Structure 1
């Protein structure tokens, strides 16, 4: 698939896709004409990259994490320095905080929807009770 099609499928701009390639996050094949050709499944990888970026992870960490998203759990990373491990741990803690916040927000939205639906049903029942019978 060409870069424009991948962009349309994922909602990621062509410019961002080129940036992902520059950062080593995706590796399209090149046709004889020099056009990028993305393999099947590239759209899912791009969505995963986008999700990790939206979570605040820098691309250099994403590059290291990508093989673990769908790969075997026994992959052995290159020995990272202590600072890198600390940064990845800090990013994970930040993700945990965001997940807790999102979970609270979802619970609040669910509670609102339940209350709103109950109120809507009560309003409908009240209107039905006020209508004259036989009309």
Structure 2
């Protein structure tokens, strides 16, 4: 399928799909015309990528985690590599949450505009 169809089927923009490919998260073949062609399993892969991004993982981490994702569901086989990669992620997310709270507090302390 071409990038436009993958975009329609997943609700993800073509620009994002190209970004995922550039980051090594998604594979596409190139036709003789230069157009990207995706396999049917790209739909499930894009859904998993989106779920992992929503969970707060970086594309670097997702690139490592994605090979453990199997099947149509957004589930994962808990391979040893996946466990090792994700062990530090909750602490990283806690740090990000705390930084956002500090930023929110700083914004809340600004005087109201008159």
TM surpasses 0.5:
yes
Give deviations 1:97-122, integer Å, cap 9, x for gaps: xxxxxxxxxxxxxxxxxxxxxxxxxx
Alignment of 1:6-45 (within 5 A): 6-45=6-45
**Structure 2 counterpart of 1:90:** 88
Structure 2 residue matching 1:25: 3-state secondary structure = coil
Alignment of 1:29-68 (within 5 A): 29-68=29-68
- Bigger drift between 65-74 and 26-35 goes to 65-74
Distance 1:73 1:3 in 2: 28
Distance 1:74 1:55 in 2: 17
Q: How many residue pairs are counted as aligned between the two chains?
A: 87
Structure 2 residue matching 1:26: 3-state secondary structure = coil
Distance 1:15 1:73 in 2: 29
**Runs of at least 4 residues off by over 6 Å:** none
- Bigger drift between 68-77 and 44-53 goes to 68-77
Using the size of structure 1 for normalisation, the TM-score is: 0.56
**Structure 2 counterpart of 1:129:** none
1:41 shift after superposition = 1.3
Structure number with greater Rg is 1
Structure 1: tracts of 5 or more residues without a match: 78-84, 96-135
Give RMSD over aligned pairs: 2.6
Using the size of structure 2 for normalisation, the TM-score is: 0.66
Structure 2: tracts of 5 or more residues without a match: 95-114
**Structure 2 counterpart of 1:98:** none
